[in-house]
Amino acid sequence: MYIVILAGGSGTRFWPLSRKSTPKQLMSVFGGKSMLQRTVERVVPLQPKRILVVTNALQAAETRSQLEYIKGVPVDVIEEPIGRNTAPAIGLAASIIARFDADGIMAVLPADHYILDEERFRDTLIRARDVAENGTLVTLGIAPTRPETGYGYIEAQENYGEAPAKVARFVEKPSLERAMEFLATGRFYWNSGMFVWGACAILDQIKLFMPELSSALAKLTFERDVWEISDLKPQIEEIYAGIKGESIDFGVMEKAEDVQVIPASFGWSDVGSWSALPEVMESDQDGHVVINAQGSVSVGSDGCLAYGGGKMVAFVGVKDLIVVDTPDAVLVCAKSAAQDVKKVVEELERRGKSEYL
Amino acid sequence: MYIVILAGGSGTRFWPLSRKSTPKQLMSVFGGKSMLQRTVERVVPLQPKRILVVTNALQAAETRSQLEYIKGVPVDVIEEPIGRNTAPAIGLAASIIARFDADGIMAVLPADHYILDEERFRDTLIRARDVAENGTLVTLGIAPTRPETGYGYIEAQENYGEAPAKVARFVEKPSLERAMEFLATGRFYWNSGMFVWGACAILDQIKLFMPELSSALAKLTFERDVWEISDLKPQIEEIYAGIKGESIDFGVMEKAEDVQVIPASFGWSDVGSWSALPEVMESDQDGHVVINAQGSVSVGSDGCLAYGGGKMVAFVGVKDLIVVDTPDAVLVCAKSAAQDVKKVVEELERRGKSEYL
């Protein structure tokens, strides 16, 4: 199996820790290793043939630098000159893999998701690969644990428990009422954005549903018969100049006939904002999640999240707050308003304060 | 007139900005100059004969360094080997002044109070001096603007408007109900801890009501007939080794017969905690008070106070919070819980985290 990691996101919702040059996947969101490093380490035990990390020019140097220490599996960093959503990134990786390994199976993984049970995650990928070997497109559907309105859903035709099922349709983020109906049926899963398929299988589907992208990708040729990503740079730039952005969900998955969903329950979060961290990290004895701090003191407080910038953090009489301290900016935010952190970024952009972006 | 500034406070309520070595009066609480510097600058236009700053050994170097720039009025820094509350500090200063100027009038001012109308403040001090020249002890009573329960009160025998009145009694911090009754009478003032009296007059009263302190202070002799505070250091150390701590309020003021209160209304706060700052500083257009920051962004927030550590500060969905960012510690606190900041200091002490104290 090949692993394709999509690492081009910009993630304004983790401001002030995330910036244009260090988006969420390159950040040490949980303290210690970055989300990208965790994503890569999580698949190394699968002994994949190669790991392809697709990122953009602004983040390429930091991405390479963060992955230098990975041993035992070759890691390629593929640089997109400009972000064009997931379909071109996936198509590009698939084209490279297919060129050298026509039967190659690839798992597509976002670089910035949280996974609790890594062993179970790898088992799920292996089961997905077995299904994908029949030429099917496989998507990992997360068994929902609550009527979440922040995720898209996948409806399966049948509920076969842990076994793969044919996808009936993909559904956009629902209302709470609909989300509750979804959960009641037992046939709906969260759309995790994780896929497993043959490189040729997805290229066939791109050809069918995204002919422009397919033609553009067809221009990719290898001068030498060696796997050397840096050779491709001028061609990738030319290809990207002529294509438009599109997600693989909209471009292919929602239209393709033969898509299977593998129910997955390894504990997952897309870590969409600061408020997602407390859901996936253990609280301390005071009920706070404190990351990257020299310790904390809590007086009449609970339910806070602090990213402490290496400092002592003190909470006094506060509840359900997010505090993020970085060298040049500090954020205080109600957990319930975590989605609005992107408005701060918009306001700073409007003011031309690029040093904080 | 001589000015005696009491600058020995430790102020744990302004943690993490205030520390043992830089208490509130040495801090730039409002941004810019420290409270001590503001206190000194405020009296320089009165052209006092000398300014005596009483502080303790731990803070003496910083105190001297902060006041080096003051020109035109001689400034003495008197070092107490150990804090012994206000009565010994005042007695010590009075003893020094009386030695060289038996008719000397001294104004006693805390180093860490906020005063809005400085011109009016100086006028009040001049009026107080005129009364003190008759040998009376004068206390500045702040005309209350609300039924504050955090201050002690002074009851005057009569309400003569702006004119001085004889003090009936000093009252400890009252309940809200009593504070409301106080305000209704028109004869109650906030006890500001600011006094004006003759150096000999207060020494006489100390002799009467605090004979032990009086005997100890009598040991203070000047070897040379020059005003040279550093000559006194060994004697001060000896004196302080043998006296106990006591406030001038309890030791003298509550017992003395002839005390007059001068009603004062120059806009005053003892800045007892972080939550006092918004009361005396102007809010920005978003309703926040932001000090020492590179700017701020507010999304669905109001009524916050931030001490920004020179950073960009962002508020998202929060109300009535205090945020204080320092190089090694960050505090988030509900305004209503500002008094509890001292509990953080107590907890850090219990843990032996002296680096944060």
Say which amino acid occupies B86.
Answer: T
- Separation CA A299–CA B5 (nearest Å): 34
Give the lowest-confidence range in A19-28, A98-107, A331-340, B145-154.
Answer: A19-28
Query: In the structure, what pLDDT confidence band is assigned to residue B272 with cuts at 50, 70 and 90?
Result: confident
Average the pLDDT over A247-266 and give the result. Answer: 95
Q: What percent of chain B has pLDDT over 70?
A: 100
What pTM did the predictor assign?
Answer: 0.84
User: Three-class SS of residue B289?
Assistant: strand
Using a CB–CB cutoff of 8 Å, tell me whether B329 touches chain A.
yes
* Residue B26 token pair: 């040495």
Q: Do A343 and B312 touch (CB under 8 A)?
A: no
Give the lowest-confidence range in A123-127, B159-163, B299-303.
Answer: B159-163
Q: Do B314 and A338 touch (CB under 8 A)?
A: no
- Separation CA A109–CA A53 (nearest Å): 10
Q: How far is A322 from chain B (nearest CA, A)?
A: 9
* Residue A87 token pair: 């379909």
Among B327, B329, B344, beta carbon nearest to A316: B344
Burial class (CB in 10 A: 0-12, 13-18, 19+), B303: middle
Residues B139-160: pLDDT tens digits?
999 999 899 998 999 999 998 8
What is residue B222's predicted lDDT score, i.e. its pLDDT?
82
Least Cα distance to B251 among B86, B107, B9 occurs for: B86
Q: Do B334 and A341 touch (CB under 8 A)?
A: no
Average pLDDT of chain A is 94
Q: How far is B281 from chain A (nearest CA, A)?
A: 21
Least Cα distance to A336 among B314, B317, B301, B304 occurs for: B317
Q: Do B328 and A312 touch (CB under 8 A)?
A: yes
Place of tokens 């605090």: B210
Preferred mutation among A13, A294, A304, A330 to probe B, highest tally of B CBs within 10 A? A330
Q: Do A309 and B297 touch (CB under 8 A)?
A: no
Residues A159-198: pLDDT tens digits?
888 899 999 999 999 999 999 999 999 999 999 999 999 9
State residue A79 phi and psi, 5-degree precision: -100, 115
Preferred mutation among B18, B274, B291, B297 to probe A, highest tally of A CBs within 10 A? B297
Q: In chain B, which residue's Cα lies nearest the Cα of A319?
A: B334
Q: In chain A, which residue's Cα lies nearest the Cα of B316?
A: A333
Contacts of A288 in chain B (CB under 8 A): none
Whether pLDDT at B11 is above 80: no
- How many CB atoms neighbour CB A76 within 10 A? 20
Give the helix/strand (H/E) hosting A312: strand A305-316
Longest dimension (CA), chain A: 66
Q: Do A334 and B325 touch (CB under 8 A)?
A: no
Contacts of A314 in chain B (CB under 8 A): 15-16, 329-333, 341, 344
Q: How far is B340 from chain A (nearest CA, A)?
A: 7
CA A75 to chain centre: 18
Average the pLDDT over A22-30 and give the result. Answer: 87
Query: What letter does residue A231 receive in the DSSP assignment?
Result: G
Query: In the structure, what pLDDT confidence band is assigned to residue B15 with cuts at 50, 70 and 90?
Result: very high
Contacts of A317 in chain B (CB under 8 A): 333-334, 336-337, 340
Of residues A149 and A91, more confidently modeled = A91
Query: What letter does residue A335 receive in the DSSP assignment?
Result: G
Residues B172-204: pLDDT tens digits?
999 999 999 999 999 999 999 999 999 999 999
What is residue A53's predicted lDDT score, i.e. its pLDDT?
98
Using a CB–CB cutoff of 8 Å, tell me whether B314 touches chain A.
yes
What is residue B282's predicted lDDT score, i.e. its pLDDT?
87
Q: What is the ipTM of this complex?
A: 0.84
What is residue B106's predicted lDDT score, i.e. its pLDDT?
98
Among B312, B338, B347, beta carbon nearest to A329: B312
What is residue A277's predicted lDDT score, i.e. its pLDDT?
86
